Amino acid sequence: MLCRDWCCVVIGAIEPTNSQEQAPVLCSQCLGPASAAADGSISCGYCGHRDVLPHEQQQRAREVARRVRHAALAAAQLQGAEAALGHIFESPWAFVRAAGLFIVVAFIAGGYSLISAWQIWNTAPVSVRTSLIINTAMFPAAVGGFALSICVALAIARRSYRRAVRPLLFARAPLQPGLPARCRACGGPLPDGRDAFVMCRYCNTQSLVTPELERDRVQLLQGEQRFYTDRAHRVVAATTSLPNTQRILLVSCLLIYGLMIGLAALSNALLPS
């Protein structure tokens, strides 16, 4: 039986940045959202664990905040370059934004080089015309090749991201149709946002919110039930780190661009002198 609600405790005095906000109460065993009675007793709808919160209000708020922080530490956090790449990979215009400037520069440089080469084409000896074409195309090709290497490297890194990283970032599905998605770390309701990643107001964890959450809501809730139950029994461990997507991107970009430069140099060397 899935837990359909959670008790909230005001933590304004404990967390000044979340003034007047209410943090979800979590099970101390599996860190899943749990229901709490007026006397502070907690019954987890995921793993069945029961415990009691402190009766004094400030101690209770501290305990709730401690559990929320613990849940955030147990979840893989999207930070720094990985956060930037995550936003890029979730954007439909990511490749255009990443390589668009280089593509424009390549076209401008190519047009300028073509005009310059055309002026000396008719007067150049036939034997050097092939070299003239290659030398003219080198700079535009270098800039365009860099843009192409970025696009290909992004495609490789994005594939790795979708396979190994993206599944770890999904928000929890809404408990009912029309309700907001929930934080993947603490289970609190997420605020509305236009971006694919929404930051939790309680634990500052970024969760990925997509239409898949509403479409596959029932299956995701069942999977959530299994996840918290397994974590309570130590079947699954906390995932605190993400695969290094930025390393994959950098290595792919260098290899592809190096290959293009090598091919250009080889073509130039094979030309008849």
Res 16: pLDDT: 36
Q: Quick count: other Cβ atoms within 10 Å of Cβ 63?
A: 20
Res 9: pLDDT: 45
Residue 24 phi, psi dihedral angles, 5° rounding: -70, 145
The beta strands (E) that lie in the chain are given as: 8-10, 22-24, 35-36, 41-43, 50-52, 197-199, 206-208
Query: What residue ranges do the domains of the chain occupy?
Result: 8-74, 80-270
Low-confidence stretches of the chain (pLDDT < 70) are: 1-21, 95, 117, 119-124, 126-137, 232-246, 249, 257, 260, 263-264, 266-273
Predicted model pTM: 0.66
Of the candidates 214, 233, 201, the one whose C-alpha atom is nearest the C-alpha of residue 20 is: 201
